[in-house]
Structure 1
Amino acid sequence: MRLAGKRAFVTGGRQGIGLGIVNAFLAEGAEVTTCGRGTRPDDLPQDVGWFELDVSNAADVARVRTDVGATDILVNNAGVQVEKTVVDSTDADWDLVMGANARGVFNMCRAFIPHMSAGGSIINIGSISGTVADPSMALYNASKAFVHGLTRSIAVDHGPDVRCNAICPGWIETGMLDAGFDLANDPDKARADALARHAVKRFGKPADIASMAVWLASDDAAFATGQLFTIDGGMTAASPLNPGLF
């Protein structure tokens, strides 16, 4: 029960990585509240608080922050993905992706930091895509690079009162993973090739990211701040050579 007595707010907890973190925090004894753009999902545990929230809207974020009250742990997980190059991206695509992935994280941190408990932990969900570019994901790649930079700035500017770190997932089994492979000329071949590049020979699961989030949220990580933790099954550790050929 590493998070017993702690209050956590997780954005985008409806499904995928967000829901995995919600469940892991609950199992470790935290009081958890989450949010999403729609109504409360039926499968969300009953003891989890829910707010309907668009994190790109600063006024709505401020309202929810007031309702939530003091918070020990903030996880900025809410995000969207558009599979387009720069040339193909529209102004609406920019507003959607940068609004949720960049402005949303900024809005949440700006609203919550002044009211977080001393020693509080902010965990931003970045991505390996913020360091190495996935094809046809221009806005998504850029938005995650923003998250990485903001993470470092918050750690420097607001320590020691608040710690701030980012988790950078690799290929995790969610809807976003399927959408990425669907861009390939041969999705099945692309999936097999990607799998071969993982040292652990599997794709990640939301629980893999949630385990790191629990550690970063706990007092065990009291000396960790301003860092980007890559959780990708060893994929980015490999050279461009396909290990399946050797």
Structure 2
Amino acid sequence: MTKTAIVTGGGRGIGQAIVERLLQDGMNVVTCGRGAEPADLPEGAVWVQADVVTKDGIDAIMKAAGRVDVLVNNAGVQVEKSVADSTDADYDLVMDVNCRGVFNMCRAVLPQMSETGGSTVNIGSISGMVSDPSMALYNASKAFVHGLTRSIAVDHGPKVRCNAIRPGWIMTAMAEDGFALANDPKAAMADALARHPVGRFGEPGDIAKIVSWLASDEAPYVTGECITVDGGMTAASPLNPGLF
């Protein structure tokens, strides 16, 4: 039987790469976003204009998918502020999408997956374990995702496997926004690059490959894990290896 996957936030960047990879894996893929269908949506994917924060949005996504074998919670937003500078509106935006949206989608698929089996992959971040400056709400929201992942794995096994991926610096528009916070963005990027043992920043496809494996039957004994995919950056000490 052909598997069906839901990928939230599949209109660009990491989400789009995940959609492409799961289609290549032979899955039916339903993806969604708050805007209109992107012109470059991968052929074969089904687009639903929906907000994962709302009940109507969740219902529309679930109706389009029908049976769900794989859920990938990728939709996310960031606000580049410290706690002191963050407003109530900032809090609501980040926590609604990054926390409530993931919770909503997991809750929606769990009754079915608990009967038929399934795999959920949540896109967290290294920012949920090592805090990026001036990204307080984003950092906190990703820590929530990691905690929720472990709870789902514990509470809903053995039928349901739930894992998270903690991407590092994956070159997308969100990453560029993060570097733009620096006093000298070019210098900040050069310094960050020097801290990557693999010698490069990540690409969306790097994350899609790990999603593909976790969602497949090749990872039957992997659940409750938060897998860091950051080119080795957080494995290193704070010393800049480029200076030695």
Instruction: Check whether TM > 0.5.
Output: yes
Cα deviation, 1:179-205, whole Å, max 9, x if unaligned, reads 111111111110000000000010000
8 Å CA contact retained: 2:70, 2:119:
yes
Q: Does residue 225 of structure 2 align to residue 227 of structure 1?
A: yes
Identical-residue share of aligned pairs (%) = 65
Q: Counterparts of 1:152 and 1:122 in 2: how far apart (Å)? A: 11
- Stretch moving more, 214-223 or 54-63: 54-63
Q: Does residue 170 of structure 2 align to residue 172 of structure 1?
A: yes
8 Å CA contact retained: 2:5, 2:69:
yes
8 Å CA contact retained: 2:48, 2:64:
no
Q: Counterparts of 1:197 and 1:47 in 2: how far apart (Å)? A: 39
Out of 139, 142, 146, which is 1:141 matched to? 139
Out of 8, 11, 33, which is 2:8 matched to? 11
Cα deviation, residue 45, structure 1: 2.2
Q: Counterparts of 2:85 and 2:70 in 1: how far apart (Å)? A: 38
**2:91 alignment partner in structure 1:** 94
Out of 19, 28, 33, which is 1:31 matched to? 28
Cα deviation, residue 119, structure 1: 2.9
- Over the residues paired in the alignment, what is the CA RMSD in angstroms? 1.1
Q: Secondary structure at the match of 1:201?
A: coil
**1:124 alignment partner in structure 2:** 122
Aligned length in residues: 243
Cα deviation, residue 66, structure 1: 3.2
**1:208 alignment partner in structure 2:** 206
Q: Does residue 55 of structure 2 align to residue 53 of structure 1?
A: no
**2:193 alignment partner in structure 1:** 195
8 Å CA contact retained: 1:69, 1:115:
no
Q: Secondary structure at the match of 1:220?
A: coil
Out of 169, 176, 185, which is 2:183 matched to? 185
Cα deviation, residue 113, structure 1: 1.1
Cα deviation, 1:8-67, whole Å, max 9, x if unaligned, reads 000000000000000011111111110000011111123111111111113421343134
8 Å CA contact retained: 2:128, 2:142:
yes
Aligned counterparts, 1:56-75, within 5 A:
56-75=53-72
Cα deviation, 1:77-99, whole Å, max 9, x if unaligned, reads 00001000001101111111000
Q: Counterparts of 2:185 and 2:159 in 1: how far apart (Å)? A: 46
**2:152 alignment partner in structure 1:** 154
Cα deviation, 1:96-136, whole Å, max 9, x if unaligned, reads 10000000000000011112363300000000000000000
One-letter identity of the residue aligned with 2:135? M
Cα deviation, residue 6, structure 1: 1.1
One-letter identity of the residue aligned with 1:44? L
Cα deviation, residue 69, structure 1: 1.2
Q: Which runs of 4+ in 1 moved over 3 A?
A: none
Q: Counterparts of 2:60 and 2:24 in 1: how far apart (Å)? A: 28
8 Å CA contact retained: 2:4, 2:65:
no
Q: Counterparts of 1:45 and 1:192 in 2: how far apart (Å)? A: 33
5+ long unaligned stretches in structure 1: none
8 Å CA contact retained: 1:121, 1:163:
yes
Q: Counterparts of 1:115 and 1:168 in 2: how far apart (Å)? A: 26
5+ long unaligned stretches in structure 2: none
Q: Counterparts of 2:36 and 2:129 in 1: how far apart (Å)? A: 34
**1:80 alignment partner in structure 2:** 77
- Stretch moving more, 66-75 or 188-197: 66-75
TM-score, scaled to structure 1: 0.96
TM-score, scaled to structure 2: 0.97
